[in-house]
């Protein structure tokens, strides 16, 4: 059973997911998954994954059979396990609990070589819908406080399988980064009585130097203080704290802007590895006037070294205004 441990000074949680029998020499510097060979996410290999929890697009009613367009399965090597009690306990001044949680893989397409950003809009909508459905389902489990939805694209960004997929992790504690974000947004709200993200959107629209693109419901910006070159945030223009409550028209609009934003990024730096992370309200939370759900897309272009470890500061060689200008012009240059 994995274990959750809390740093007694920072309150930061760590998952100790012991891989038994590993000796020190087994820790390779950077794990680089090979390409080719057997793929457990490809159609026909459904029996090699745990039983699916969701599938879209299949005409038959036979679960774990081919014919799906998007498929969600529990992770075969989960960081956290679904069965058991939390058993919070102390060990002197330290705190720990069982590593209870859910870890699911969203297989984004049946085609091994499909790339997320190039999927047709109707297909991408199914993926965004799957995130919603899984969040709503996991919300019923009282042991969980937050569902983290994210994608690692490319080896350098941590993808361990080539086949296009994203992941959901349901956590029994609120992640510290989300907690800080909620606290920062609340401080601003208490002072101004306005949502800080709404104010950001309004200032970005006015200044128009960090806006990458925009459609009916969404806006993509390069944030004022980005951690990496070409970092992008996708936010709903109208205030909302809950991703899972967006309706189908909004999801269609989200698919459209997500695809456009990633295509613009790819036109600037072809096949750049990236991570995206959904930031949304905690499970079972009432609507929050101070928090605004959004996606953060972080390209993997710089490496984290002692300075970042020690300070939490990031050094970014590209001002977001320049990045936005490249991203705005990128598709125009190609066409």
CB of 245 to a copy of itself, least distance (A): 20
Q: Contacts with a copy of itself: how many residues (CB under 8 A)?
A: 96
Asked if residue 123 belongs to a known ligand binding site, the reply is no
Q: Report how far residue 72's alpha carbon sits from residue 74's, in angstroms, rounded to the nearest whole number.
A: 7
Stretch that binds a copy of itself, among 42-50, 235-243, 255-263, 269-277 (CB under 8 A): 269-277
Of 138 and 169, which has the nearer Cβ to a copy of itself?
A: 169
Whether 244 is catalytic is: no
Among 125, 268, 288, 324, binds a copy of itself (CB under 8 A): 268
Of 12 and 287, which has the nearer Cβ to a copy of itself?
A: 12
200 binds a copy of itself (CB under 8 A): yes
Residues numbered 27-56 forming contacts with a copy of itself, rule: CB under 8 A:
27-31
Residues numbered 201-240 forming contacts with a copy of itself, rule: CB under 8 A:
203, 206-207, 223-227, 229-230
Catalytic residue, from 103, 165, 239, 244: name it. Answer: 165
Q: Report how far residue 284's alpha carbon sits from residue 322's, in angstroms, rounded to the nearest whole number.
A: 40
Residue 268, phi then psi, degrees to nearest 5: -75, -50
332 binds a copy of itself (CB under 8 A): no
CB of 162 to a copy of itself, least distance (A): 15
Residue 165, phi then psi, degrees to nearest 5: -155, 155
Are the C-beta atoms of residues 226 and 294 closer than 8 Å to each other? no
Q: For residue 155, how far is the Cα from the chain centroid?
A: 16
CB of 144 to a copy of itself, least distance (A): 13
Give me the 139-178 binding string for a copy of itself, x by CB under 8 A, dash otherwise: ---------x-xxx---xxxx-------x-x-x---xxxx
Q: Which of 232, 218, 314, 215 is nearest to 269 (CA)?
A: 232
Name residues whose C-beta falls within 8 Å of residue 308's C-beta, 6 or more positions apart in sequence: 314, 315
Of 27 and 38, which has the nearer Cβ to a copy of itself?
A: 27
Question: At 133, which helix (H) or strand (E)?
Answer: helix 121-138
Q: Report how far residue 152's alpha carbon sits from residue 23's, in angstroms, rounded to the nearest whole number.
A: 27
Put residue 197 in one of left, alpha, beta given phi > 0 → left and psi -120 to 50 → alpha: alpha
Q: Any long-range contacts for 237-241 (C-beta under 8 Å, 24+ apart)?
A: 237/201, 239/195, 239/197, 239/198, 239/289, 239/292, 240/292, 240/293, 241/280, 241/281, 241/285, 241/287, 241/288, 241/289, 241/291, 241/292, 241/293
Among 34, 120, 310, 332, binds a copy of itself (CB under 8 A): 310
Asked if residue 163 belongs to a known ligand binding site, the reply is yes
312 binds a copy of itself (CB under 8 A): yes
Asked if residue 112 belongs to a known ligand binding site, the reply is yes
Of 27 and 47, which has the nearer Cβ to a copy of itself?
A: 27
Among 73, 135, 278, 324, binds a copy of itself (CB under 8 A): 278
CB of 322 to a copy of itself, least distance (A): 8
Q: Report how far residue 87's alpha carbon sits from residue 96's, in angstroms, rounded to the nearest whole number.
A: 8
300 binds a copy of itself (CB under 8 A): yes
Residues identified as active-site: 165
């Amino acid at each position: 059973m994995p274990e959750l441990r809390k740093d007694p000074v920072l309150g930061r949680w760590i998952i100790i997911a012991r891989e038994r029998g590993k000796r020190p020499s087994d820790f390779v510097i950077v794990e680089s998954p090979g390409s080719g060979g057997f793929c457990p996410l490809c159609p026909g290999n459904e029996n090699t994954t745990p039983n699916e929890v969701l599938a879209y697009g299949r005409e038959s009613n036979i679960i774990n059979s081919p014919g799906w367009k998007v498929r969600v399965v529990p992770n075969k090597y989960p960081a956290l396990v679904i069965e058991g009690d939390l058993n919070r306990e102390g060990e002197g001044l330290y705190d720990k609990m069982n590593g209870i949680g859910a870890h699911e893989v969203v297989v984004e397409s049946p085609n091994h070589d499909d790339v997320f950003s190039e999927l047709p809009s109707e297909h991408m909508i199914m993926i965004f819908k799957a995130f919603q459905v899984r969040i709503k389902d996991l919300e019923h489990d009282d042991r969980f406080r937050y569902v983290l939805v994210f994608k690692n694209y490319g080896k350098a960004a941590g993808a361990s399988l080539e086949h296009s997929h994203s992941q959901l992790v349901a956590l029994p504690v609120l992640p510290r980064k989300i907690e800080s974000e909620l606290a920062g947004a609340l401080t601003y709200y208490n002072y101004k009585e306005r949502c800080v993200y709404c104010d950001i959107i309004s200032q970005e629209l006015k200044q128009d130097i960090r806006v990458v693109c925009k459609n009916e419901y969404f806006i993509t910006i390069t944030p004022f203080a980005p951690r990496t070159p070409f970092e992008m945030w996708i936010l709903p223009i109208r205030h909302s704290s809950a991703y899972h409550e967006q309706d189908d028209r909004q999801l269609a609009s989200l698919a459209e802007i997500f695809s456009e934003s990633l295509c613009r990024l790819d036109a600037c730096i072809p096949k750049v590895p990236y991570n995206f992370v959904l930031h949304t309200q905690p499970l079972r939370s009432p609507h929050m006037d101070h928090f605004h759900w959004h996606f953060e897309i972080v390209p993997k272009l710089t490496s984290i070294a002692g300075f970042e470890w020690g300070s939490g500061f990031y050094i970014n060689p590209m001002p977001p205004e320049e990045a936005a200008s490249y991203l705005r012009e990128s598709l125009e240059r190609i066409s």
